[in-house]
Amino acid sequence: MSEQIDHERRRFLGTAAAIVAAAQLGLIRSANSQPGNSQSKQLPPINPGTNTSFGALKQINAGQLSIGYADVGPSDGAPVILLHGWPYDIHSFVDVAPLLARAGYRVIVPYVRGYGTTRFLASDTPRNGQQSVVAVDVIELMNALNIQKATIAGFDWGARSANIVAALWPERCKALVSVSGYLIGSQQAGQLPLPPQAELQWWYQYYFATERGRAGYDKYRREFSKLIWQLASPKWTFDDATFERSAAAFDNPDHVSIVIHNYRWRLGLAQGEAKYDDLEKRLAAAPVIAVPTITLEGDANGAPHPDASAYARKFSGKYEHRVIDGGIGHNLPQEAPQAFAQAIVDVDRF
């Protein structure tokens, strides 16, 4: 993989119903490559923030974890797994899940390790946040739920995990929706220096590389996370109640350890576990993703993210890229739930 693509990949790392419909439907700009069937049924518009809760959550032992998750929709519906990122939680999909459930899908929304009600089963399990491990958790969850194959969608860390499942276990991934495109990385790529302006976007990663940064994040989890929300989605006017619903997930006892390890691992400052070395070697080769895919980008994403032209060729199957207009930032599922849900319905019919 070229240094340029490595550079772009690293840069990743956020009214009335008629107006909402226009913002999420009418103002979608598409750049198509091998487009699939676009005749899918249009989902109804929804005002972001309409829903505030999933209701009762479930818990299941899966691999190293007891995973907390929402399970929405008919039990015999086609399965969809929605994966959140940092510093967010399952509430990023609180408006997406009901739309998909009404369309007949079974929607699974798990807390990532280190978030919400997800817990380690053993106290001596390494609090490991490296990319392959977080993706393996998805496979373990699917195994525990007896889900052989699912459409997988996510953003931020969740998009990376979805990418990895699609690349390494394509037999488990029917289709993919990925915000900010192709996000598979490697420690080697993470060690390449970037131009100063690009490095500035990753300030928090370098802060986390220090013990002061770990202590600061632990002490100021909510203040830090709210700042990231504001920077990553500069046009999203979320209220305190919306933030607090997600911030509660950061009280998980393993949250700080997982977040710090994830970012230190990327820079080669923390070791992974040897049993995942083979997976990381395969990921370092930047494998092509062959499953049907729609990639999404908000027009006001303030977080580091690659340009779509840098990753389009990483998707060899039916593929479409959509830019969601209307001041949509990094947390695209929560800011534009109809557009995100529509992409899932559409890619399912590619």
Question: Alpha-carbon distance 296 to 90, whole Å?
Answer: 19
Contact 91, 241 (CB under 8 A): no
- Cβ atoms within 10 A of the Cβ of 52, count? 11
Q: What is the pTM of this model?
A: 0.90
Predicted pLDDT of residue 149: 98
Query: Helical H runs in the chain?
Result: 3-10, 17-21, 96-102, 131-144, 157-168, 187-190, 196-201, 203-208, 211-219, 221-232, 240-247, 255-266, 277-284, 332-335, 337-348
What's the pLDDT score for residue 15? 33
Q: Would you kindly state where each structural domain of the chain is located, as residue ranges?
A: 3-348
Per-residue confidence (pLDDT) for residue 41, from 0 to 100: 87
Q: How do beta strands 173-179 and 150-154 pair?
A: parallel
The predicted structure's pLDDT at residue 39: 62
Nearest-CA neighbor of 322 among 168, 177, 141, 186?
177
The kind and range of the H/E element at 298 are strand 293-298
pLDDT on residue 237 = 97
pLDDT at 30: 55
Look-up: residue for tokens 């013990």? 211
What pLDDT, on the 0 to 100 scale, is given for residue 40? 76
User: Distance (Å, rounded) from C-alpha 135 to C-alpha 133?
Assistant: 5
CATH of domain 3-348: 3.40.50.1820
Given this model, what pLDDT does residue 1 score? 40
Note the pLDDT of residue 337: 98
pLDDT attached to residue 10? 40
**Average pLDDT by stretches of 10, the chain with 350 residues:** 39 36 41 54 96 97 98 98 98 98 98 98 98 98 98 98 98 98 95 93 97 98 98 98 98 98 97 98 98 98 94 98 98 98 97
